[in-house]
Amino acid sequence: MSTQAHAAEHHKESFVSKYIFSHDHKMIAKQFLITGMVMATIGMAMSLLFRLQLAWPGESFSVLNFFLGDKWAPDGVLDPNMYLALGTIHGTIMVFFLLTAGLSGTFANLLIPLQIGARDMASGFMNMLSYWGFFISSVIMVISLFVESGPASAGWTVYPPLSALPQAMPGSGLGMTLWLVSMVFFIASQLIGGLNYIVTVINLRTKGMKMTRLPLTIWAILVTAILGLLSFPVLFSAALLLLFDRSFGTAFYLSDIYIAGEALTQTGGSPILYQHLFWFLGHPEVYIILLPALGLTSEVISTNARKPIFGYRAMVGSILAIGFLSFIVWGHHMFVTGMDPFIGAVFTFTTLLIAIPSAVKAFNYITTLWKGNIRFTPAMMFSIGMVSTFISGGLTGIILADSALDINLHDTYFVVAHFHIVMGLSAVLAMFAGVYHWFPKMYGRMMNMKLGYAHFWLTFISGYGVFFPMHFFGLAGVPRRYYTNSEFPMFDVFIDLNILVTVFAIIGGFAQLLFFFNFFYSMVRGPKASQNPWKSNTLEWTTPVEHIHGNWPGKLPEVHRWAYDYSKPGKEDDFVPQTVPLEEGEKDGEH
Amino acid sequence: MNFLIILLSVLGLIALIQLVRVFEITGKLRGNNQDDIDFQENKLRAKLWLLFGIAYFGFFIWLAWEYGDDLLPVAASEHGAVIDNVLNFNWVILIIAFVLTHVLLFYFASKYYWKPNHKADFITHSTKLELIWTTFPAIVLAVIVIYGLSAWNDITDDAPEDSINIELYSKQFAWVARYAGEDNKLGEANYNFIGGSNQLGLITPETIQERKSSLEDEVINIEANLANAPEGGAKEEELQENLDKKKRQLAKIKTYERQNEVDPFVNADDDKIVNMEFHIPVDQPVNFQFRSQDVIHSAYMPHFRAQMNCVPGAKTRFHFTPTITTEEMREKTGNDEFNYLLYCNKICGAAHYNMQMTIVVESQEDYEKWLSEQSTFTSVETAQSREEEKEVSEEEVLAEKN
């Protein structure tokens, strides 16, 4: 059956095939988004719980007892093991479930077929599998929160031997096993999804959609998928070997350990091996999160500045350069593991190289605003905020990449500040920008703008309020993952600042209720969207507001120009959709 | 109480819904098309970016003003001063970049707001500009890399030969320090020797014998239990497993025993083990060796700008020269209770947050006095009697040969 005929055919779809086991990329995108939102709520709530302990150490909170029960918060005081568990699961959920699957899953699925002019993904079935793999992994991760010995607690990087030995901490028992099983499903889901994204972008572009005409969102998603495909298998093997060490007495990561009054028989393994394998994924992972965020931001900024994205080719080049470099920098997470100093020097060099394409991207965003005609939609507000966090957080990366400086800042709050701003805040802000911008495409309705602005300012300000002061903790030598700083009189000066951070966290956390309300209210009651509410050039806005299977009624659109003909001289409107043929003598793209 | 919270949430939700409807209706009354935007409101949003920019810089300055003095005091080691210089150099560059980019970002955002019947400039790229902002950061980064790596190379270079050798040993959740003693050689250690009073698993002729006999006792014990255990049961399996384990351990101890006959393990004799607090002399290079008993820990000594992971199954190293004594630092910081600290900086379990040890930096004389008060691992008498035995046996060998 040709795709043409497939589209024309009117399916009688049951509830199950339409909403649950759907093959339709738009529905799968929504499934990813909602699952991601549910997981994010859990991850966010956890951070609020442990922030209470950090601001008011050892004090009793009935809310802690309410959520964690008598075992983990006796008399409302958080247990140190549960503190570590909350941090671990918060990190895992935010990095993998929200910002990898939630972000890429939503926007790769929604935008790839719509922006390249395809009826659907190359394989709708694989796409469905990808979602359900993610769903199963989410369920297992949530189940792991309820096991008797507590969820995984060794930090989101789960370094062995701590994560390998149940004797080392209660969280390294069944909770850790479930964590690993969940990750196995997660990785499978990522690989299936990623493969599908790559094949679709390469093969299913509509007539005229040359690679040089691809919107930057698609470029970013494509490179992201390639990164995932090449690096996630390495995490898979790392997790598998850890599972072996835990369950079958192997010694890949274990050697010469005396614990709980007993000398273990395993010798010859190296815990550092795990770190190499983990960060071989772990560093590209940072860009798996960041690149789609940058892609979405590019699109939103250009559309709302009513101006072509500045330096399209340089932007594509930067994405490719960042993608390539991200594979040869992982060692900068391991400067103080005792690695050979020469190798440390090489990793310092390669890491600092990444700053160049990143700087180019930042400058290009700023220059896109220059002499623009900016419409400050909520999506635009979030995007400008994202440029700010990307710069603020990126700059401190230059310090941490410097091996000599990392000696003293490694694993302090400086690192927490750095990655939460550059990766966490940036990606979350971009994801919100994406949701506000493409909500009309997803649900055919508009979100409420006023609530959107309120949500933006509360999120953005409290985001900086939480993470900016952490630079100062780090520079004072406060380590991360400490249950309390009260054992160190030298950190008493930060008691007030820690409370301020927690207050901002609570404000920021509850501000998300505005978003949730806006999201679900607008889904059913929002005003009906017009076909192209943002006057955008890309193909998704040429589809009908009501979703149809196959995206376009009749023939697929033909593309005649790049995606960034905003405010082109000699045109009546300040935008020219990609489907409008070039006039005689008119040049396409960057000319 | 719970009922009240639920009631409040429901009321809040209803209020929010009504509010949104009011927004929508007023929007319609004003004749707003959803595709259009309100010029005044949009302009206000542009100006808010300027306001935010001022607030953001203000927050930064306030934090620096308020907490700038609470950061780590001046580096108390030779290389630490170099690290601080590199850091300060980076800060100058980064703060310039931070302010410059943010000023432009907020300025452009506030200036180029949407105006009706106006078009943005169609600027797609500028090769010249892009070349400038690719090469300029590249040059600046080259300087940062060169400066940073020359410091890194010096710091990680081999320790000076006259360094004092000290081992920092980590375990859940405490630190132990070991001094190399008279010979300035740290004795060998193996985790199979840990037990009883030998908390670091040091190897000496005595610990080999002690460990051997205690393991042999255990083997005999288990074998006796095994004979009494019901056949084919879980109990038997467990005992058998335990027995195999002990036998393997015993075999390992015996390899050390044979090695000891050829080349006796005597380096650990004069090693000195201290808990809770360790001393180092000022202006004297110290070469640290790090080991871990159970999981990865990280030995963090921020006042000296020093950190190294302690990895089970491996020995890691870091060396530095302290330059300021504890007393001097107390004067400098104006804090009579100031102490240099070693603490754990790699998540290691429930009490990770309280795994610390005090470091005292003092004059050479004070240090030597303190060290002489610490007892050696093998008592002097034991070592002497072992020496005498050895002489006797050597005489016997000589006598036989003759």
Contacting A residues, span 188-247, partner chain B, CB-CB under 8 Å:
none
* Mean pLDDT along residues A438-454: 95
pLDDT, residue A107, reads: 97
Q: Look up residue B98 and give its amino acid.
A: F
Residues in a beta bridge with A259: A262
Question: Is the pLDDT reported for residue A9 higher than 70?
Answer: no
Nearest-5° Cα angle at B201, B200 to B205: 130
Q: What is the DSSP letter of B321?
A: -
* CATH number for region A25-253+267-542: 1.20.210.10
Query: What are the domain boundaries of chain B?
Result: 37-156, 164-188+272-392, 205-264
CB contact B25 to A (< 8 Å): no
Of A313, A377, A412, nearest to B125 by CB-CB distance is A313
Transcribe A450-506 into DSSP letters.
HHHHHHHHHHHHHHHHHHTTHHHHHHTTPBSS-S-STT-GGGGGGHHHHHHHHHHHH
Binary contact (B352, A481; C-beta < 8 A): yes
CB contact A360 to B (< 8 Å): yes
Of B83, B114, B124, nearest to A374 by CB-CB distance is B114
CB contact A42 to B (< 8 Å): no
Contacting B residues, span 286-325, partner chain A, CB-CB under 8 Å:
290, 293-296, 298, 300, 302-303, 305-309, 311-314, 316-317
Our CA-based measurement puts residue B274 at a distance from the nearest CA of chain A, in whole angstroms, of: 20
Contacting A residues, span 277-336, partner chain B, CB-CB under 8 Å:
305-308, 310-314, 336
Spatial neighbors of A106 by CB under 8 A, at least 6 apart, are A29, A30, A32, A33, A36, A431, A434
Q: Which region holds residue A118: left if phi is over 0, alpha if psi is between -120 and 50, else beta?
A: beta
CB contact B35 to A (< 8 Å): yes
Contacting A residues, span 70-109, partner chain B, CB-CB under 8 Å:
80-81, 84
Element (H, E) at A137: helix A124-143
Residues of A in contact with B67 (CB under 8 A): 469, 472, 476, 493-494, 497
**CA dihedral of A420, A197, A363, A405, whole degrees rounded to 10:** 40
Q: Compute the Cα dihedral for B386, B389, B394, B400 and give only its sign.
A: negative
Q: What is the ipTM of this complex?
A: 0.93
The token duo for A258 is 């005396």
Three-state DSSP at B183 gives coil
**Which single residue is written with the structure tokens 């390249």?**
A116
Model confidence at A88, pLDDT cuts 50, 70, 90, reads very high
CB contact A66 to B (< 8 Å): no
* Mean pLDDT along residues A283-294: 95
Model confidence at A4, pLDDT cuts 50, 70, 90, reads very low
pLDDT, residue B20, reads: 77
Query: Which pLDDT tens digit goes with each residue over B195-222?
Result: 888 999 999 999 999 999 999 999 999 9
Our CA-based measurement puts residue A490 at a distance from the nearest CA of chain B, in whole angstroms, of: 8
pLDDT, residue B22, reads: 77
Residues of B in contact with A387 (CB under 8 A): 105
CB contact B173 to A (< 8 Å): no
Give me chain B's average pLDDT, please.
91
With CA atoms as reference, the chain A residue closest to B46 would be A376
Of A165, A338, A371, nearest to B123 by CB-CB distance is A371
Query: What are the domain boundaries of chain A?
Result: 25-253+267-542
CB-CB contact of B76 with B302 (8 Å)? no
Q: Residue-wise over B250-259: b if at least 16 C-beta within 10 A, else e?
A: bebbeebeee
Contacting B residues, span 180-209, partner chain A, CB-CB under 8 Å:
190-192, 194, 201
| Rounded Cα gap, residues A146 and A149, in angstroms | 9
Query: Which pLDDT tens digit goes with each residue over A504-540?
Result: 999 999 999 999 999 999 999 999 999 999 999 999 9
Our CA-based measurement puts residue B80 at a distance from the nearest CA of chain A, in whole angstroms, of: 9
Residues of B in contact with A311 (CB under 8 A): 124-126, 130
Binary contact (B249, A263; C-beta < 8 A): yes
Alpha carbon distances (Å) from A13 to A269, A523, A548, B236, B336: 54, 21, 12, 61, 77
- The reply to whether omega before A161 is within 30° of 0 (cis) is yes
- Selected for mutation to probe chain B from A273, A388, A520 (highest B CB count within 10 Å) is A388
CB contact B280 to A (< 8 Å): no
pLDDT, residue B192, reads: 94
Binary contact (B155, A165; C-beta < 8 A): no
Fold of B164-188+272-392: Immunoglobulin-like (2.60.40)
E strand segments, A498-589: none
Binary contact (A372, B341; C-beta < 8 A): no
With CA atoms as reference, the chain A residue closest to B301 would be A408
Lowest mean pLDDT among A226-230, A484-488, B24-28: B24-28
CB contact A384 to B (< 8 Å): yes
Chains A & B: contacts with CB separation below 8 Å: 350
Binary contact (B296, A476; C-beta < 8 A): no
* Mean pLDDT along residues B107-115: 95
pLDDT, residue A404, reads: 96
* Burial label, B10 (beta-carbon count in 10 A; 0-12, 13-18, 19+): exposed
Binary contact (A535, B35; C-beta < 8 A): yes
CB-CB contact of A537 with A578 (8 Å)? yes
Binary contact (A477, B13; C-beta < 8 A): no
Q: Look up residue A419 and give its amino acid.
A: F
pLDDT, residue A1, reads: 37
With CA atoms as reference, the chain A residue closest to B173 would be A168
**Which single residue is written with the structure tokens 């940062």?**
B144
- Say which residue, A243 or B16, is predicted with more confidence: A243
How many CA within 13 A on the CB side of residue B248?
11
Contacting B residues, span 219-278, partner chain A, CB-CB under 8 Å:
245, 248-249
Model confidence at A5, pLDDT cuts 50, 70, 90, reads very low
The token duo for A566 is 């905003």
| Rounded Cα gap, residues A422 and A390, in angstroms | 5
- Selected for mutation to probe chain A from B72, B93, B119, B202 (highest A CB count within 10 Å) is B119
Question: Is the pLDDT reported for residue A3 higher than 50?
Answer: no
Binary contact (A395, B98; C-beta < 8 A): yes
pLDDT, residue A102, reads: 95
Transcribe A10-45 into DSSP letters.
-----HIIIIIS---HHHHHHHHHHHHHHHHHHHHH
Query: Which pLDDT tens digit goes with each residue over A152-208?
Result: 999 999 999 999 999 999 999 999 999 999 999 999 999 999 999 999 999 999 999
Our CA-based measurement puts residue A32 at a distance from the nearest CA of chain B, in whole angstroms, of: 26
Question: Is the pLDDT reported for residue A6 higher than 60?
Answer: no
pLDDT, residue B31, reads: 52
